[in-house]
Amino acid sequence: MALFGRRAVTPAPLDGVDVVLADLDGVVYAGAGALPHAVESLNRARDGRAAIAYITNNAARTDASVAAHLSELGLATDPSDVVTSPQAAMRLLAEKIAPGSTILVVGGDGLVVEVEKAGFVVTRSADDAPAAVVQGFAPEVGWTQLAEAAFALKTPEEEGGIPWVATNTDWTIPQSRGIAPGNGTLVSAVHTAVGRLATVAGKPETPIFQEAVARFGAQHPLFLGDRLDTDILGANRAGIASALVLTGVDRPKHVLAAPENSRPTYILGDLRELHEPYPEVQVKDGVATVREARVAIDGADVRILSEGDRAIDLVRAGAAAIWASGRAIFGFRVPERLYADPFHRP
C-alpha cells in the first residue's frame, strides 16, 4: 500500500506480507542490545505466519554468529535466515575472477568465512598477487589492512588492475554508545589513496535484495530499515515495499528531506506500528492530513496547522506535504517543531 492511500484507514503494514526482510543495526539492535519493542514485534509477525529474515550490510560477523545473537535476544533464527553483504560480494566476485583464486581480504571473520565458503583463497598481503580485493567492515580494520589494499589496487582496473569489491559503503554504523564510522569511511580512505572506485555488493545495490527474495521465495516482501540512503533506496531499486523505522540512523529531518528515490512506503516510530492500521495520508490544496495532524505548504513556508496527538503522524504529514510539493526542502522555511525527535535512537 503506497503512502498516499484512498481509504480512511489502510491495512497494517504487515497485512498481505509473506516475508519480512529486516535490517539489523538500528532496526533490531544497537550494539549487543535489542532495541525497544523490536523482538516482541518481530515474533508477533512470525506468529502471524510471515517468515522473518534478515539482511545486513555488516560484514564483521558470520551468518551463524548473527543468528546466534538474534536467538539470544529472543528471535529464534537459523544461519540460513541471514543474508549478508559478504554473500552478495561473493556472487559478484564469482562473475569477475576464476574459481579458486586468491583474494586479498580487508575485514573480519564474517568476510573471511564467506570467501573460503565460496572456494577462494584468503590472503592479507598484496605481495601474494591477489586476483581481487574484497573489503568489509570489522572493528579491527586499521591502517595496515587499508595500506595492503591500496598496494594491491595501485593499477586501475581499466589498465589491467584487479577488481575491488566492497561489501557496502555505509558511512556510519549504530552502536550502543552512539553513531560510529562505518565501512564507507574505510572504503573512502582506500579510494583517496588510489583514486579508484569499488564495486558495491550490499545495500543500496540490488544483488543482496535479489538474493534474499530468491532464497525465501518471497512474493510480497516488506523490507524494514533505518537508513534512507541504503535501506530504502535499495528496496525501491529492487521493487520491494519498505518501512523506515525511526530507531536508528535517520531522523525526522532526514525523512522530510528524502529525495524521491529514497522515500519509504511506510514511516514508523518503532516496530509495534507494523501491526497497527496505517493511516491514510491526504494531500489537498497544499495541506497534508494524517489523522489529526495537518501540515500546509504556504509559499516558502511549511506551517503546522495541527500537531495531532501522535508525533509520528506529524512526521508523516510533514513529509507528505513537502514531498507532494515537488520542491526540495531547502526551498522552504521549516518550523523547528517539525524536526522534533521524540523517537528512540541509539
Give the distance from CA 133 to its chain's centroid: 23
| Average pLDDT for 63-78 | 97
Does residue 256 register a pLDDT over 70?
yes
pLDDT tier, 9 (very low <50, low <70, confident <90, very high otherwise): low
State how many domains the chain has: 2
78 assigned to some structural domain:
no
Given a contact cutoff of 8 angstroms between Cβ atoms, the answer to whether 11 and 278 are in contact is yes
Q: Assess if residue 196 is contained within a domain.
A: yes
CB-based burial label for 67 (10 Å; 0-12, 13-18, 19+): buried
Q: Which of 15, 18, 25, 226 is catalytic?
A: 25
Weakest mean pLDDT among 175-179, 272-276, 282-286, 296-300? 175-179
Residue 5: its pLDDT value, please?
43
Residue 76 falls inside a structural domain: no
Residues 92 and 47 in one domain: no
- Longest Cα–Cα distance of the chain, Å, equals 65
Range of the domain at 290: 19-57+206-339
Asked if 189 and 211 sit in the same domain, the reply is no
Verify that 323 and 211 share a domain, yes or no: yes
| Same-domain pairing of 134 and 186 | yes
Would you state the pLDDT for residue 257? 97
User: In angstroms, what is the C-alpha Rg of the chain?
Assistant: 21
At residue 307, the 3 state secondary structure works out as: strand
In a domain, 246, yes or no: yes
For the cut 60, the answer to whether the pLDDT of residue 174 exceeds it is yes
Same domain, residue pair 222 and 305: yes
Question: Is 93 found in the same domain as 128?
Answer: yes
Confidence class of residue 48 from pLDDT cuts 50, 70 and 90? confident
End-of-domain residue from the set 200, 230, 247 = 200
Catalytic pick among 23, 81, 170, 270: 23
Q: In what order do the strands lie in the sheet with 164-166?
A: 121-123, 102-106, 132-135, 164-166, 199-200
Known active-site residue 23: yes
Say how far apart CA 297 and CA 303 lie, in whole Å.
Answer: 6
Residue 1 confidence (pLDDT): 40
DSSP label at 280? P
The number of beta carbons lying within 10 Å of the beta carbon of residue 111 is 29
* Span 231-247, pLDDT tens digits: 999 999 999 999 999 99
Residues 160 and 274 in one domain: no
pLDDT digits (tens, 9 = 90+) for 87-107: 999 989 999 999 999 999 999
Out of 200, 232, 259, pick the residue that ends a domain: 200
Q: Give yes or no: residues 215 and 334 share one domain.
A: yes
Q: Is residue 189 domain-shared with residue 252, that is, in the same domain?
A: no
- Grid coordinates representing 242 are 519498505
Select the highest-mean-pLDDT range: 48-57, 86-95, 205-214, 237-246. 237-246
| Residue 2 pLDDT | 46
Mean pLDDT within 56-75: 93
Q: Looking at the structure, do residues 227 and 297 belong to the same domain, yes or no?
A: yes
Q: Is residue 47 domain-resident?
A: yes
Reading the block at residue 79, the C-alpha cell is 544461519
CATH number for position 304: 3.40.50.1000
In the Cβ-directed half-sphere of 268, how many Cα atoms lie within 13 Å? 31
Domain annotation covers residue 1: no
On whether both 211 and 318 belong to a single domain, the answer is yes
Determine what percent of the chain is predicted with pLDDT higher than 70. 97
The answer as to whether 40 is a domain residue is yes
The pTM of this model reads 0.86
Residue 124, pLDDT above cutoff 50: yes
Last residue within a domain, chosen from 150, 183, 200: 200
Determine whether 78 is an active site residue.
Answer: no
For every residue of 150-217, DSSP letters joined together read HHHT-S-GGGTPPPEEES---SEEEETTEEEE-HHHHHHHHHHHH---PEE-STTSSHHHHHHHHHHT
In-domain check, residue 325: yes
Per-residue model confidence (pLDDT) at position 178: 87
Verify that 159 and 250 share a domain, yes or no.
no
Write down the pLDDT at residue 345: 64
